[in-house]
Each structure stands twice: as C-alpha cells, then as structure tokens.
Amino acid sequence: MMSKKMADAINEQINAEFYSAFLYLSMATKLEDMTLPGFAKWMRVQYEEEVFHGMKLLDHMVERGQRVHLRDIAAPPVEWASPLEIFSEAYEHEVKVTEMINNLVRTAMDDNDFATNQFLLWYVEEQVEEEDNTSTIRDKIKLVNEMPGGLYMLDKELAARTFTPPPAGA
C-alpha cells in the first residue's frame, strides 16, 4: 500500500515532469527564433521525453490504486540570451529534478514501499543521463562559441536526435 505522503510526492513529481516538458518546449521555440533548428529539435525531443516521464509516473499511481491529482503547470520562461544560457539553465533544471527524484526514493525507503522504490530506480538512472546530456551540450557550446561555424556544426549534430520510448517494463 502506498502512503498518502508518497502519493502526494509522486503527484508533485508528475506536475514537475510536465513543467519540464513545457520548459523544454519553450526553449525549443526560442532556439527556432535563433535560427538553430537542430538545437530546437533536440529540445522538442526532450519535451517528448519529459511527457513520457510524467505519464510513466501517472501510470504507476494508477497501477497502485492511487488517485492522480493534476495541478496547474506554471508558465516557463520564454527569453534567453544565447544557446549557452539555455543549456546552462537546462542542466541546472536537471540537477533540481535529480534532487526531487532522490527525495522520492528517500520517501519510498522511509515508507518501506519497495514497489515504488524499485520503480523509481529507473528515474535515478535516467537523471544521470539527463544531467550528462545537458552538461555535455553546454560544454560543447562553450568550446565552439568562438569558432566561426561552430554553432552551425553543433546544430547539425543535435538535429539527429530522435525520441525512442524505452521498452515496456523498462
């Protein structure tokens, strides 16, 4: 049985995941405005991932017989000065999400909720990837920022990203 504390915390995380999706979609539109369609595509794929994360949490709640309480999603920022600023913020956002996931795991462990703890381990691994991806792109932008054509080349690289949902049960 899932505790009320755990259910409330997962409901908050569902909201956070959908906020993350909106944040990345907002970043994608700004990158489109900057004429960086590959960067924008990368962020649109990130948007899809975040929606998937939110839905995976929602499905877990339903499977555990818990009521999902969808909440208002705050409006994300819409202005950034540069791709570097966008990816720096994306990285900081993922660090914050990692902390939230770690707090969920702590709650599951405190509650002896082994099923939720096991379920959340996927998110723990996913956050390692999320932080790595955003920090790597941020660092690549720093490397190419002073090189003519550097952002163009990086834009082409990022355009290749596609969303592939993990297999069921992953």
Per-residue pLDDT at 170 exceeds 80 = no
Helix then strand then coil, % of the chain, to nearest 5 = 75, 0, 25
What integer pLDDT is reported at residue 1 of this predicted model? 85
Instruction: Give the integer Cα–Cα distance in Å for 36 and 85.
Output: 14
Instruction: Give the integer Cα–Cα distance in Å for 20 and 38.
Output: 19
What integer pLDDT is reported at residue 125 of this predicted model? 96
Instruction: Give the integer Cα–Cα distance in Å for 34 and 25.
Output: 14
Domain ranges of the chain: 4-158
Per-residue pLDDT at 42 exceeds 80 = yes
- The tens digit of pLDDT for each residue in 45-80 reads 999 999 999 999 999 999 999 999 999 999 999 999
- The tens digit of pLDDT for each residue in 120-142 reads 999 999 999 999 999 999 999 99
What integer pLDDT is reported at residue 169 of this predicted model? 64
Per-residue pLDDT at 8 exceeds 80 = yes
**Cα distances (Å, whole numbers) of residue 42 to 14, 70, 122, 156, 165:** 22, 27, 22, 10, 15
Average pLDDT (11-29) is 98
Give the side-chain half-sphere CA count within 13 A for 45.
17
Neighbour-count burial of 47, counting CB atoms closer than 10 A to its CB (0-12 exposed, 13-18 middle, 19+ buried): buried
Query: Domain 4-158, what fold?
Result: Ferritin (1.20.1260)
Give the percent of the chain with pLDDT over 90. 92
Residue among 148, 157, 56 nearest 101 (CA)? 56
Instruction: Give the integer Cα–Cα distance in Å for 30 and 39.
Output: 10
Per-residue pLDDT at 31 exceeds 90 = yes
Residue among 77, 86, 119, 120 nearest 100 (CA)? 120
pTM reported for the whole predicted model: 0.94
